[in-house]
Chain A
Amino acid sequence: MSNKALEINNLDSQIGNFSLSGINFSIEKGTIMGFIGKNGSGKTTLIKTILNMIQSTSGEILFNGTPMFGNEEEVKANIGVVFDSLIYPLNFKPTKIKRMICPFYKTFDDKKFSDFMKRFELDPNKKLSTYSKGMQMKFGVVMALCHNPELIILDEPTAGLDPISRADVIDLLLDLMQNEERSILFSTHITSDLEKIADYITMIDNGKIVFSKVKDEMLDTYMLAHIEKEIMTDDIKSKLIGLKETTFGYQGLCTNNFNIKEIVGIKTTRPTLEDIMVYMDTKK
């Protein structure tokens, strides 16, 4: 048995004009991997490639050391997936969907289903079409978790949820992480969610992995520099990763290697994930 819940090695994939190339990252058991990137950067494409819904052209994807190919029954039984939109038929009631899905999972927990439905205040006897988008998303989360998966893959699960529901989903995920064998790949635009729960962060841009690091280590690697207009030089500019002009001067991201703190007129703060994402993009 591997200590990696998911391992991706040199993965390439092509869909239309978009391609994923040289994807390498892994998720250790018992950890949460935050997966960030702007719209169209390849997050959903990568998730679908991981799940073999899009064919890879080369590379290797291992789930707990086992490839999906030829082991679908075993591998999929241990994965729970939430897509960015509901995949269940809207004209069905949750109870009917549960009856349709549960025969395929030996570990499907009816009690858990009822508990989660209650926790999210979802009526199991109402058709999904009567649910709001947020409620549909919550139902997707419920269905992904009821068979006690070891790896949970979430593609924008908190999109469309109000802050209270989002907090509820995050709390639920944290509760699930009490099981040390369980791991989560959490793709989202809402980076503040990841700051609360992620252990690792992987950023993708234009089909390529920009970085895949321990979250705190990554936040410590960078600094957000606030620079007064008068002291800005070409040398400082060259050392910044992305730069923005503000009414008070400039703001940019830089690495800790750059001894910027000692320069008079420059203040530094700890960046957020959003800052890193935004400045990494402006760098281009």
Chain B
Amino acid sequence: MLNKLITYQRLLLNSTPPFSSTLPSFFNVILYCLAFSMIVFMNISLFFGNTASSNTFLPFTLPIISIWMINRTLHGDHRLFETVPVSRKYVVLNIFLLSLVMTFIMYVLIFTFGAALIGIMIGIVYLTESKGVNLLSDESSLQQVINTTKGDVLMLCILLIILFAGIAIVLIRNKKLRNTSFAGLTVIGYGLLFFLKLNMPISPITGKVEFLQSFSIMPQSNIILLSVAIATVLISITSVFIGYKFYVRK
């Protein structure tokens, strides 16, 4: 059972069609540039401040990349994963699982390479600077974790909502409806997060609204977090159900 699940995940991961050797049309290039600019703009406008970290923009960017890749797989010409004898319910559940697996793999890869890169850079600086490097004390690191825990949980919820709602949309067969739904999800999601940011207090450390820190010191943060957590569970379950209906529809 578990072996079959792992094999099917591998099959899905390897069903991503290769990039076409032909150049995309001018319209598509414009479209890709526009989408990329929008993601960058949304990340900057929502999360970037003095203390913007990978914890803020990764929950936004990685699921989008996962959804885009799964969209290519699912609507590609040859779908290897659909040729093997498994039920459509099994396919749908595995596609949702794949989005989590892909995001996790990318997260691990980024952090591994990021940590390695930072390690190398610190090593070089340490070796070249005669005074050495002042590393943060354990206490201050712990403080940083405690300060943004609520924000991190919020980010995790946002990541799950983007993934589950996004995959449900990917399963829509009609391209126009699919793209419209993506646009709708983006506008609603961005609108809600921007509204949340507008109501956030200024961080006492930087004197600016810093998404994670400001959310953590927000008086209503517990209620918001609870609501978002409940919404995440509901949206995830509903997305799987709706996605199943879209995919299985005769």
- B84: which of A52, A74, A90, A104 is its contact (CB, 8 Å)? A104
Stretch at the interface among B6-14, B134-142, B190-198: B6-14
Number of interface residues of B (CB under 8 A): 21
- B85: which of A69, A73, A100 is its contact (CB, 8 Å)? A73
Chain A, 81-106, contact with B by CB distance < 8 Å: what is the 0/1 string? 10101011110100000001101110
Decide yes or no whether B131 CB sits under 8 A from chain A.
no
Chain A, 43-82, contact with B by CB distance < 8 Å: what is the 0/1 string? 0000000011101000000000000010011111100010
Nearest to B88 among chain A residues (CB) is: A72
A188 to B66: give the CA distance in the assembly, Å.
37
Please state if A76 and B85 are interface contacts (CB–CB under 8 Å). yes
Q: Report A-chain residues with C-beta under 8 Å of the C-beta of B173.
A: 55
Describe A's contact surface by its main secondary structure: loop
A69 to B8: give the CA distance in the assembly, Å.
20
- Contacting A at CB under 8 A, from B52-105, are 78-80, 82-88
Please state if B4 and A53 are interface contacts (CB–CB under 8 Å). no
A53 to B82: give the CA distance in the assembly, Å.
8
Please state if B83 and A87 are interface contacts (CB–CB under 8 Å). yes
Please state if B85 and A105 are interface contacts (CB–CB under 8 Å). yes
- B3: which of A73, A85, A103 is its contact (CB, 8 Å)? A103
- Contacting B at CB under 8 A, from A117-138, are none
Decide yes or no whether B24 CB sits under 8 A from chain A.
no
Please state if B18 and A104 are interface contacts (CB–CB under 8 Å). no
Known contacts A77-B85, A89-B14; decide if A104 and B4 are in contact (CB<8 Å): yes
A89 to B78: give the CA distance in the assembly, Å.
11
A101 to B14: give the CA distance in the assembly, Å.
12
Please state if A100 and B87 are interface contacts (CB–CB under 8 Å). no
Shortest CB-to-CB span from B52 to chain A, Å, is 36
Please state if A76 and B78 are interface contacts (CB–CB under 8 Å). no
Q: Report B-chain residues with C-beta under 8 Å of the C-beta of A100.
A: 7, 10-11, 14
Known contacts A53-B79, A87-B78, A89-B14; decide if A72 and B85 are in contact (CB<8 Å): yes
- A74: which of B4, B8, B85 is its contact (CB, 8 Å)? B85
Q: Report A-chain residues with C-beta under 8 Å of the C-beta of B11.
A: 100-101
Please state if A103 and B7 are interface contacts (CB–CB under 8 Å). yes
Nearest to B13 among chain A residues (CB) is: A89
Q: Report B-chain residues with C-beta under 8 Å of the C-beta of A85.
A: 78
- B78: which of A77, A83, A92 is its contact (CB, 8 Å)? A83
Q: Report A-chain residues with C-beta under 8 Å of the C-beta of B85.
A: 72-77, 104-105
Shortest CB-to-CB span from A136 to chain B, Å, is 12
Shortest CB-to-CB span from A109 to chain B, Å, is 15
Q: A53, A72, A83 — which one has the most chain B CB atoms within 10 A of its CB?
A: A72
A51 to B80: give the CA distance in the assembly, Å.
12
A193 to B15: give the CA distance in the assembly, Å.
31
Please state if A87 and B80 are interface contacts (CB–CB under 8 Å). yes
A106 to B123: give the CA distance in the assembly, Å.
54
A69 to B247: give the CA distance in the assembly, Å.
12
A51 to B81: give the CA distance in the assembly, Å.
13
